[in-house]
C-alpha cells in the first residue's frame, strides 16, 4: 500500500473519530464568562494575582474543595482562592460534584462522553472511572440533557484548566474529569453515590481531586445573608454535619449545592479528610460595592486538606476506654432488650469520624466471635455499638453469647485505615498489614494480628486467607483476576493495662 493511500486512510479515520466524539459544549461562554481564550485567560490571571494566602496555606495539598459557581465576575475571585492551591501540584483525575438546577431525575447523572469543552480547549473525560461509578447503581445514569445548560460544573472547568493543563502558568500535566450532577434529594441514594466514588478512589492508583460546587444564601438583604452564611461556614468548619443537614432543611442555612456537598462530605469523612480550612467569603453585594443591597448571593471557598495523621490525631486512651465500655454495654443491652443500643453522640471529634472497624470477642484466648466492616459505613462510635452486638450474636461460626459468658469475654477492637489495592504481594508487610482478597463475589480478610498469632509466613498466610476465608483455591492470590488490598489497624483490648476499666 502506497504512503499516499495510508495518509488518506489516517485522515479519514481521524475525521471519523472527531465526528463521533461526544463533547459537552460551553453553554455559558460569552455570558457568564468571556467567550474567547485570550479574554478568559486574562480574567483568570487577574483572579489568581489577587489571591492573598500565607505560604503555609498555599502549600496545602487538597483532598477536595468547596467552590462557588456563579458568573465569574461575581464568584470568580472567591473560587480562585481554592484553585490557587492546585498550582505546582498534579492530579490525574478531578471528580466534580454539582447540583442540577433545572432537573430532578431522582438519580445522579455521570457525564460519560469524551470531552468537556471551554474556550481554553477540551478536557478529556475519565471514561474508566465514570463507567465504574455508573455500573454501581441503576439510578446512576448518563443523561446528557441534564448537563447541557448546567452552570454548577461548567464554571469550575476554566479554573482547573488554568492551573492543571499543559501550558498553564504552573506547568502542570494533563488531567481528566468526571462531571457528576446530583439530580436528587434522596439522601440514601447519595450515600450510595458516595460509596461508589469511595470504591473507585480506593481501587485506583491515580491522584484524584474532589470538587463540590455550591453557592450559599440566595436573595436576602446583605446583613442577613452575611449572618446566615457565617453560621453555615461555622458548621462546616466545626464538622457539625447533623446540624448542617437539619439547618438546610429548616431554612436556617442555605447551600444551593447541598446535595452535591452532602455526597462530598460522606466521601471526605470516610478518608478522614472532612476538616475544612476557610479561605474566602464574599457575596454579590461585596462585588458590586453595594452593602445595602436587599438581594445578594453568597460565595465561599473552603479547602479540605490531605492531612497526615499524627499521634495527636489518633485515639486517645480515654477514647479507647470509651469504645471498649461502649462495646460491652452494647452486648449487655442486646441481651436484655434484643435490639441494638443507640448511644448518645460523644463530643470527641475522632469518635464521630467515619471509620471501618472490627470487634473481636475472646474467651481464654480462644475466638468467640468477630465481625466488622472493611469500608466505613457510619461514625466510629455507632460502628462499635453495632459490631459488638453482631460479634456476640450474629457470627455464624458460634452460637449467641450467653449472659453467663459475659464475665469471661475479653473485647478487642481494631480500627482500620482505608484499604489500598496492591499489585504485588511484596508490598505486604507481615504483622503490619491486614489483607483483603476479592475474586468475583468471594471475599476474605485477615487482620494484621493473625500473622502474629499464628506465626505463619506470607505464603501460608495468603493460602489460608484464600482457602478458608474466601473459599477460593489456596493459590488464588497468584491469579491476576484476584484483587488484593492491604490496610493497617489500631488495635486495643480490655486486657491492655493502659486502658483497663
Cα separation of 235 and 219, whole Å? Answer: 21
Mean pLDDT confidence for 253-275: 92
285 and 349 belong to one structural domain? no
Residue 280's CATH number: 3.40.830.10
| 214: its cell numbers | 455550591
17 and 99 belong to one structural domain? yes
Count of other CB atoms within 10 angstroms of residue 241: 17
pLDDT at 236: 95
Residue 20 has pLDDT above 90, yes or no: no
Into how many domains does the chain fold? 2
Planar angle of CA 491, 492, 494, nearest 5 degrees: 155
Crossing angle (nearest 10°) for helices 127-134 and 187-203: 140
Residue 339's CATH number: 3.30.700.20
Mean pLDDT confidence for 238-250: 93
298 and 174 belong to one structural domain? yes
Final residue in a domain of this structure, among 305, 325, 346: 305
Count of other CB atoms within 10 angstroms of residue 366: 7
139 and 171 belong to one structural domain? yes
Alpha helices in 118-164 (DSSP H): 127-134, 144-148, 151-154, 157-164
Cα separation of 111 and 97, whole Å? Answer: 11
357 and 241 belong to one structural domain? no
| 435: confidence class by pLDDT, cuts 50, 70, 90 | very high
Residue 219 has pLDDT above 90, yes or no: yes
109 and 198 belong to one structural domain? yes
137 and 169 belong to one structural domain? yes
| 311: confidence class by pLDDT, cuts 50, 70, 90 | very low
Final residue in a domain of this structure, among 305, 322, 357: 305
164 and 79 belong to one structural domain? yes
381 and 275 belong to one structural domain? no
69 and 196 belong to one structural domain? yes
Residue 338 has pLDDT above 60, yes or no: yes
| 350: confidence class by pLDDT, cuts 50, 70, 90 | confident
pLDDT at 498: 42
For residue 65, what is the enclosing H or E element?
strand 62-67
pLDDT at 168: 42
Residue 335 has pLDDT above 80, yes or no: yes
299 and 320 belong to one structural domain? no
- Percent of the residues in the chain that have a pLDDT greater than 70, as a whole number: 92
Mean pLDDT confidence for 46-64: 94
| 468: confidence class by pLDDT, cuts 50, 70, 90 | very high
pLDDT at 500: 36
Which has the higher per-residue pLDDT, 294 or 419?
294
| 4: confidence class by pLDDT, cuts 50, 70, 90 | low
State the residue range of the domain holding 291: 3-305
415 and 472 belong to one structural domain? yes
Final residue in a domain of this structure, among 251, 283, 305: 305
pLDDT at 448: 87
Amino acid at each position: 500500500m502506497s504512503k499516499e493511500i495510508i495518509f488518506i486512510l489516517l485522515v479519514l479515520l481521524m475525521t471519523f473519530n472527531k465526528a463521533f466524539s461526544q463533547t459537552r459544549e460551553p453553554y455559558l461562554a460569552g455570558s457568564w464568562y468571556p467567550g474567547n481564550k485570550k479574554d478568559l485567560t486574562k480574567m483568570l490571571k487577574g483572579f489568581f494575582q489577587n489571591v492573598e494566602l500565607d505560604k503555609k496555606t498555599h502549600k496545602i495539598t487538597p483532598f477536595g474543595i468547596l467552590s462557588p459557581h456563579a458568573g465569574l465576575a461575581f464568584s470568580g475571585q472567591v473560587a480562585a482562592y481554592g484553585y490557587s492551591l492546585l498550582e505546582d501540584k498534579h492530579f490525574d483525575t478531578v471528580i466534580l460534584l454539582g447540583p442540577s438546577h433545572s432537573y430532578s431525575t431522582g438519580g445522579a447523572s455521570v457525564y460519560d462522553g469524551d470531552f468537556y469543552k471551554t474556550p481554553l480547549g477540551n478536557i478529556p473525560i475519565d471514561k474508566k472511572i465514570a463507567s465504574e461509578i455508573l455500573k454501581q447503581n441503576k439510578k446512576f445514569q448518563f443523561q446528557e440533557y441534564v448537563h447541557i445548560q448546567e452552570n454548577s460544573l461548567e464554571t469550575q472547568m476554566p479554573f482547573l484548566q488554568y492551573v492543571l493543563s499543559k501550558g498553564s502558568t504552573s506547568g502542570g500535566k494533563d488531567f481528566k474529569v468526571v462531571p457528576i450532577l446530583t439530580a436528587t434529594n434522596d439522601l440514601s441514594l447519595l450515600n450510595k453515590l458516595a460509596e461508589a466514588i469511595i470504591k473507585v478512589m480506593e481501587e485506583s492508583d491515580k491522584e484524584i481531586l474532589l470538587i463540590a460546587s455550591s453557592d450559599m444564601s440566595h436573595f436576602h438583604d446583605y446583613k442577613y445573608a452575611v449572618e446566615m452564611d457565617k453560621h453555615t461556614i461555622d458548621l462546616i468548619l466545626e464538622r457539625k454535619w447533623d446540624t448542617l443537614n437539619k439547618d438546610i432543611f429548616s431554612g436556617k442555612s442555605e447551600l444551593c449545592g447541598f446535595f452535591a456537598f452532602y455526597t462530598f462530605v460522606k466521601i471526605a469523612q470516610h478518608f478522614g479528610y472532612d476538616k475544612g480550612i476557610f479561605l474566602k467569603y464574599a457575596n454579590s453585594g461585596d462585588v458590586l460595592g453595594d452593602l445595602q443591597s436587599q438581594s445578594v448571593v453568597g460565595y465561599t471557598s473552603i479547602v479540605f486538606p490531605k492531612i497526615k495523621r499524627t499521634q495527636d490525631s489518633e485515639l486517645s486512651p480515654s477514647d479507647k476506654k470509651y469504645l471498649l465500655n461502649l462495646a460491652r454495654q452494647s452486648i449487655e443491652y442486646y441481651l436484655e432488650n434484643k435490639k441494638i443500643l443507640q448511644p448518645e453522640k460523644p463530643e470527641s471529634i475522632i469518635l464521630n469520624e467515619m471509620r471501618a472497624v472490627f470487634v473481636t470477642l475472646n474467651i481464654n484466648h480462644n475466638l468467640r466471635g468477630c465481625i466488622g466492616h472493611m469500608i466505613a459505613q457510619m461514625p466510629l462510635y455507632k460502628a462499635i455499638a453495632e459490631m459488638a452486638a453482631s460479634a456476640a450474636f450474629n457470627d455464624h461460626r458460634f452460637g449467641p453469647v450467653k449472659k453467663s459468658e459475659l464475665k469471661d469475654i475479653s473485647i478487642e477492637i481494631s480500627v482500620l485505615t482505608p484499604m489500598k489495592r496492591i499489585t504485588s504481594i511484596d508490598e505486604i508487610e507481615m504483622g503490619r498489614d491486614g489483607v483483603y482478597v476479592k475474586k468475583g463475589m468471594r471475599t476474605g480478610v485477615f487482620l494484621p494480628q493473625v500473622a502474629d498469632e499464628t506465626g505463619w509466613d506470607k505464603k501460608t498466610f495468603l493460602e489460608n486467607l484464600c482457602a478458608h476465608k474466601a473459599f477460593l483455591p489456596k493459590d488464588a492470590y497468584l491469579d491476576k483476576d484476584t484483587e488484593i488490598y492491604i490496610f493497617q489497624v489500631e488495635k486495643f483490648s480490655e486486657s491492655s493495662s493502659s486502658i483497663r476499666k
